[in-house]
């Protein structure tokens, strides 16, 4: 699956003599994040090969990974079970666009409290789930494991070797690890974490070498799924000017960061940048519900 790169035309880029292309992995599917789909590809093959009948995974109420797992499971004729953070959702999950969509794709939910959710990696917790739901192929939260990284190594292809910089959002780090592994040594991979945390570097090193990459940690906007008016305004303006929609949790923050770095002349003249649009657009509806409650401006849809 080779996804085209789209050139971005904006006055600032000309003024600074920087070229920016966006790999439109968001076009893989209207509500399945491009990178989540890639992360699931080899895991689904493995689950089938080992004759599992179901996938089980974890996520919050707006999780792109939950949405993608539901869809991939349906496609592969595997049952899907989502362990969802937040007991309060038991009575009103229907109001949550991500969960509603996942349910339509056949996912069953198991809602747990925030404190139980924190135990999700313990053997005891997994044993309890097995007692409840039988044998299943287990995917970690966010979907990152060795097979997921292998899938993300397929994002870059032969035509991408001319770029000086490859930019990606970072959640658990699986996607950027795949990009690091398949990038060339003359390229620099820049990861833009969407959350606060010093653990990310170590997490990435579990799956990728310590070579041509760095994390740019200045653009998480206070933490995971935290947003402010500046960010919303940037996303809406970017869409108006380029036609490219961005999500508020990952890609919006990364592109905000890339443009800020361009403004500050961080990239040399003539630099060629490729930013990976990992998708996440299914999360816009849910974020707008949150913004509305907080009387903040909404994201254009």
Ligand X SMILES: *Cc1c(COP(=O)(O)O)cnc(C)c1O
CB of 282 to ligand X, least distance (A): 9
Question: In angstroms, what is the minimal distance from the CB of 278 to ligand X?
Answer: 3
> What number of chain residues touch ligand X (CB under 6 A)?
21
* Helical ranges in 105-216 per DSSP H: 114-117, 123-133, 146-152, 174-182, 200-205
Kindly tell me which of 16 and 173 has the beta carbon lying closer to ligand X: 173
**1, HSE (Cβ side, Cα atoms, 13 Å):** 17
Which residue shows structure tokens 């770095």? 261
Cα dihedral sign for 95, 97, 102, 104? positive
Using the rule CB under 6 A, which residue among 69, 96, 98, 278 binds ligand X? Answer: 278
3-class DSSP state for residue 22?
strand
Q: Is residue 144 a contact point for ligand X (CB under 6 A)? A: yes
Q: Which of residues 63-102 bind ligand X (CB under 6 A)?
A: 64-65
| Complete DSSP assignment for 212-230 | SEEE--S-STTSTT---HH
Q: Mask of contacts with ligand X, 19-48, x by CB under 6 A?
A: --------------x-xx------------
If one asks whether residue 169 binds ligand X (CB under 6 A), the answer comes out as yes
Which contiguous run of DSSP H or E holds residue 260?
A: helix 251-263
Q: Which residues contact 248 (CB under 8 A, 6 or more apart)?
A: 225, 227, 231, 232, 235, 283, 284, 287, 299
> Which of 192, 250, 259, 267 touches ligand X (CB under 6 A)?
250
The single residue of 63, 168, 182, 183 carrying the catalytic annotation is 63
Closer by beta carbon to ligand X, 65 or else 220: 65
- How many other CB atoms are there within 10 angstroms of residue 268's CB atom? 10
Binders of ligand X in range 173-192 (CB under 6 A): 173-176
Q: Would you call 113 a catalytic residue per the annotation? A: no
- Minimum CB separation of residue 32 from ligand X in Å reads 9
Judged by CB under 6 A, which stretch of 42-50, 73-81, 95-103, 163-171 contacts ligand X? 163-171
Positive or negative: CA dihedral 57, 61, 65, 68: positive
**Touching ligand X, residues 47-66 (CB under 6 A):** 64-65
The upper half-sphere exposure of residue 194, i.e. CA atoms within 13 Å in the direction of its Cβ, equals 26
* Distance in Å, CB of 84 to ligand X, minimum: 16
Q: Residue 189 CB, nearest distance to ligand X (Å)? A: 12
Residues of this chain that interact with ligand X (CB under 6 A) are 33, 35-36, 64-65, 142, 144, 169-176, 247, 250-251, 278-280
Known catalytic residues are 63
């Amino acid at each position: 699956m080779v996804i085209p790169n789209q050139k971005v035309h904006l006055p600032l880029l000309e003024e600074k003599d920087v070229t920016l292309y966006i790999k439109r992995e968001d076009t893989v599917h209207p509500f399945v994040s491009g990178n989540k789909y890639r992360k699931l590809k080899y895991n689904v093959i493995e689950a089938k090969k080992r004759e599992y009948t179901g996938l089980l995974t974890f996520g919050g109420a707006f999780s792109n990974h939950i949405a993608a797992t539901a869809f991939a499971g349906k496609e592969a004729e595997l049952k899907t079970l989502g362990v969802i953070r937040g007991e309060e959702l038991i009575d009103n999950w229907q109001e949550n666009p991500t969960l509603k969509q996942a349910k339509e794709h056949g996912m069953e939910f198991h809602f747990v409290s925030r404190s139980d959710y924190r135990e999700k990696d313990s053997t005891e917790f997994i044993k309890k789930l097995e007692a409840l739901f039988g044998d299943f192929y287990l995917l970690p939260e966010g979907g990152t494991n060795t097979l997921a990284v292998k899938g993300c190594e397929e994002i870059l292809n032969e035509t991408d070797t001319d770029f000086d910089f490859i930019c990606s959002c970072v959640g658990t780090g699986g996607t950027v690890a795949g990009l690091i592994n398949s990038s060339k040594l003359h390229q620099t991979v820049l990861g833009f974490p969407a959350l606060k945390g010093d653990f990310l570097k170590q997490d990435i090193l579990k799956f990728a070498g310590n070579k041509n990459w760095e994390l740019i940690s200045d653009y998480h906007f206070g933490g995971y799924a935290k947003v402010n008016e500046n960010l919303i305004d940037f996303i809406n303006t970017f869409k108006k000017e380029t036609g490219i929609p961005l999500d508020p949790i990952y890609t919006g923050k990364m592109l905000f960061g890339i443009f800020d770095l361009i403004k500050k002349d961080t990239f040399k003249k003539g630099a060629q940048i490729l930013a990976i649009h990992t998708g996440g657009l299914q999360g816009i509806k849910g974020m707008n519900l949150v913004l509305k409650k907080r009387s903040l401006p909404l994201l254009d849809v």
